Structure 1
């Protein structure tokens, strides 16, 4: 492996990526909660620029970036690390946060004259900054306990956004979310304790050289995986997600679905592919894939039966998360995992789903704001009243269904090819069936929206065009990802510890 400089000027970008949202949060506190949206207008573009700079540095340099905090090398100190996958996740988080911030400038702004209640704007923007910092720490961290700290910050900021409106239903949803998250945290922390007791270190880079597939290690990873599955809402630990996402503000739902549930999955990838040696049996990977298949089939059927749009999208999120867990058996084989089409297909599914689902939740927010409700059976005439939002929903649905040209099509085609190449025909059947079920609930919404109707139901005036264009931009990105090459993506292999 080529030598990697530590704590050089480029590596300092990693620290800034974690600190910038926290500095924005501190600035909001310094302003005593007044005009937090103005702070976000400065912090968000800077954060996007930092994430893009890290991606460019990793891609052009062909190496991972490292930063050792305080100059103390692990195991005494902590290290930040950005490889190809981490850089992609940083840019994904920055772009989704940017879209959510643009969408929310009107909804969560300080009242004119500062005579009104400023608690909701301050809470939204401050928790958005805290969530962003926690996400970046998850994507850049190397220490297993440090991941626990980042996950807790992510959980408490997300729970706050879920119950932002203070209604009884959203408080109950937030409490259920919190209980599932705390259960996941306990299991994860127990696994970390077992790893530390067995090896005496928690840095993934050091553990990769020491870890063995013995009963203690496998038990620890199993507990950590189940805990992270609860946080990622994988079936059957998904019961908290639909009510939580359905009751949150549209921008919060978009970030929760696109990013928050992806952070635990990212850590599961790190545990299984970066920490563990190759497992002697493929049954463990196929078990995770079976749970993913259950999510795809059962939650898609539940989504078909929903009367409210946000609940439909929330159950669709659980179903689409199932595709991510198909990567575990599909990335196995004689090749290094990052050289397989299964690995590239799983990562592309993660990214394309994030953009598509963010677009869907924001479009649902515009629809509810305009009509005064989100009951699918009463959408007649909606396409004439909100044509841009409906078009964005349709484009995002194209990606969820896996139709060309879209990122979801390429991702599912890569996963399907990997399944047939590995002889896993049951996974191929699940992928095809899941696409048809997704078409069912997407076309159900579009059919209701394009039906003849008065287009004048009670509600507010049509949302400003700028907010609709933000939604459309997210959907177009999900479609544009369909033009990536149908082959393993070299960027995703940069920085792997076993890369020669």
Structure 2
């Protein structure tokens, strides 16, 4: 895996195909979306599989745009970490797309506006995971944020418009902080390439300020406590497929950037005060998010606050990976695998909830009685995905938390192990609250409406994948670990999944 290939045409295709679909979707009517979806998804999956095969054979993949690589041009790069995130996006995005066909079947006006924004969002996500310089990351992150805001306000009601405006202001503030940090680093080193800057960065005062600005900006976009104020309203008020995209995929882009930057570009600035501090914010998010989720009256708001909890788990990666070189690979693998598992499971939960709300015309948890009888597939999908969110075997969430627990115990940081265990119990409380209500007999005058079969089946498929990530974790972890940030790759030992 030590070689580097510069002939990977599949890299730009992963970005161009969804962007082209976004442009073409303006020309197609509602009936044309199915053909465009089939063609674009086929092209994306074909390109991704070919890129994975190229990576397996030749190692790290580079693509200089226009033939001009860094520092004069823009490089795209694919390693194991990038491929894991691309695979996550393609899997979750494909099933959400199928779900959206059924969801918007009777609402052509919203469907016409959904598809261009979704294709732009998919292209921006792929571009984030393939970008290899700081400014290109900024551009792609901006496209991602603006597409996400447009999808939030697609619902068109007062709550979604207010949430979208709050999301927009938070995204712009985060982007401004990030861009200021990039400007400081470019002034100091005269390069924006991640690989070139990795060996140059020194924790001097100006550079520390730059790294701090970038970190705060990305934490705001990821919605880590206490910068989470925009997330529950945005995710809770959006349409069901949009909520699944936001919680499953969008917040993972900025978290990916934080991992990439701190463990590849800024590792010399990693201090115990910083890592323990960011881990403490994650721990607060775990319990505060679970408490607030349990006390929500609306189903989608409960799931949105659950996302705050799961984001907290992700940031435990920092103190665990920075504790010792020996445990870095285990912690990083656990953190990224948790992000992937959460993306699949949380998308399944939101899609299942969307089907429940379509059936009952109710968003209140105390009015979900009878759903278990009238929509058993969606409720089963909700329960299966909940297993992964709680971190129970045999799910991908269990494998990820097991790796994080091993890293915590091997480094002597037992308090993070306690957070992982107790947080899983807290998550179980709000998940079982919903399941208990759905199994109660229906109210006397309750009305239930049919939904397209593709909606519950899409949720069930993602929930099944969430469990499969635990049963077949060997290959994803091997692929992921070959993409561990370059500065840790040589010193970190291999990890065996339980």
TM-score normalised to structure 2 length? 0.94
Aligned-partner Cα distance in 2 for 1:263–1:303: 24
Residue 31 of structure 1: how far off its partner (Å): 3.6
1:90-121 Cα shifts (integer Å, max 9, x gaps): 11101111111100112335x7xxxxx85422
Select 1:302's aligned residue among 271, 277, 292: 292
From 445, 452, 455, the counterpart of 2:441: 452
Describe how 1:125-144 pairs up with structure 2 within 5 A.
Answer: 125-144=115-134
- Show structure 1 runs of 5+ residues with no match: 112-116
Q: Is the 8 A contact 1:48 1:95 kept in 2?
A: no
Residue 491 of structure 1, CA deviation:
2.0
2:302 corresponds to: 312
- For the residues of structure 1 that align with 2:341 and 2:218, how far apart are their CA atoms? 22
> d(CA) in 1 for partners of 2:96 and 2:282?
28
- 226-235 or 48-57: which moved more? 48-57
Deviations 1:180-221 (A, max 9, x none): 111101100000000001101001011012111212111111
Given candidates 397, 400, 417, the residue that maps to 1:408 is 397
Does the residue aligned with 2:5 lie in a helix, a strand or coil?
coil
Instruction: String of CA shifts for 1:308-359, please: whole Å, max 9, x gaps.
Output: 1100000001110111111111112443676x32111111111111111000
Who is 2:184 aligned against?
Answer: 194
Of residues 366, 372, 385, the one that matches 1:377 is 366
Deviation at 1:33, TM superposition (A): 7.6
The answer to whether the 8 Å contact 2:333/2:481 transfers is no
Give the drift of 1:464.
2.9
Which of 472, 475, 486 is matched with 2:463 structurally? Answer: 475
Q: 1:412 deviation in Å?
A: 1.1
Matched, 1:155 2:145: yes
1: CA distance, partners of 2:108 / 2:376: 33
1:81 aligns with 2:77: yes
Q: CA deviation at 1:29?
A: 2.7
Give the aligned partner of residue 94 of structure 1: 90
Cα distance in 2 between the residues matched to 1:412 and 1:455:
43
Shift of the alpha carbon at 1:234? 0.8
TM-score (norm 1): 0.93
The reply on whether 1:436 has 2:436 as its aligned counterpart is no
2:41 to 36, 40, 44: 44
Residue 25 of structure 1 contacts residue 126 of structure 1 at CA under 8 Å; is this kept in 2?
yes
Q: Which aligned pairs between 1:226-237 and structure 2 lie closer than 5 A?
A: 226-237=216-227
Q: Which secondary structure does the structure 2 equivalent of 1:201 belong to? A: coil
> How far apart are the structure 2 equivalents of 1:389 and 1:447?
14
Are residues 80 and 301 of structure 1, via their aligned partners in 2, closer, same or farther at CA, if it must alter by over 3 Å?
Answer: same
Report if the CA contact (8 A) 1:190-1:223 is conserved. Answer: yes
Residues 1:360 and 2:360 aligned together: no
Whether the 8 Å CA contact 1:381–1:455 is kept in 2: the answer is no
Distance 1:435 1:201 in 2: 43
Q: Which residue of 488, 491, 495 corresponds with 2:479?
A: 491
Q: Distance in 1 between matches of 2:20 and 2:327?
A: 38
Q: Structure 1 residues 34, 194: CA separation in 2 closer, same or farther (over 3 Å shift)?
A: farther
Instruction: Give the distance between the partners of 2:473 and 2:109, measured in 1 at CA.
Output: 47
User: Are the structure 2 counterparts of residues 489 and 100 from structure 1 closer, same or farther at C-alpha, using a change threshold of 3 Å?
Assistant: closer
Any residues of structure 2 matched to 1:275-354 within 5 Å, and which?
Answer: 275-279=265-269, 281-335=271-325, 340-354=329-343
Cα deviation for residue 382 of structure 1 reads 1.3
Matched with 2:60 is: 64
> What is the deviation of 1:134?
0.4
Cα RMSD over matched residues? 2.0
Asked if structure 2 preserves the Cα contact closer than 8 Å seen for 1:180 and 1:231, the reply is: yes
Partner of 1:266: 256
1:2 maps to which residue?
Answer: 2
Output the CA distance in 2 between the equivalents of 1:102 and 1:34: 14
Taking a change above 3 Å as real, the CA distance of residues 70 and 309 of structure 1, as seen in their structure-2 partners, is same
Work out the CA distance in 2 between the residues paired with 1:343 and 1:230. Answer: 21
CA contact (8 A) 2:388 2:466 kept: yes
SS of residue matched to 2:103: coil
322-331 or 132-141, larger mean C-alpha shift: 322-331
Question: Aligned-pair distance for 1:252?
Answer: 0.8
Name 1:16's counterpart in structure 2: 13
Inter-partner Cα distance in structure 2 for 1:433 and 1:87:
32
CA contact (8 A) 1:382 1:455 kept: no
Aligned-pair CA distance for 1:303: 0.3
The structure 1 segments of at least 4 consecutive aligned residues displaced by more than 4 Å after TM superposition are 484-488
CA distance in 2, matches of 1:472, 1:198: 50
How far apart in 2 are the matches of 1:488 and 1:469?
A: 24
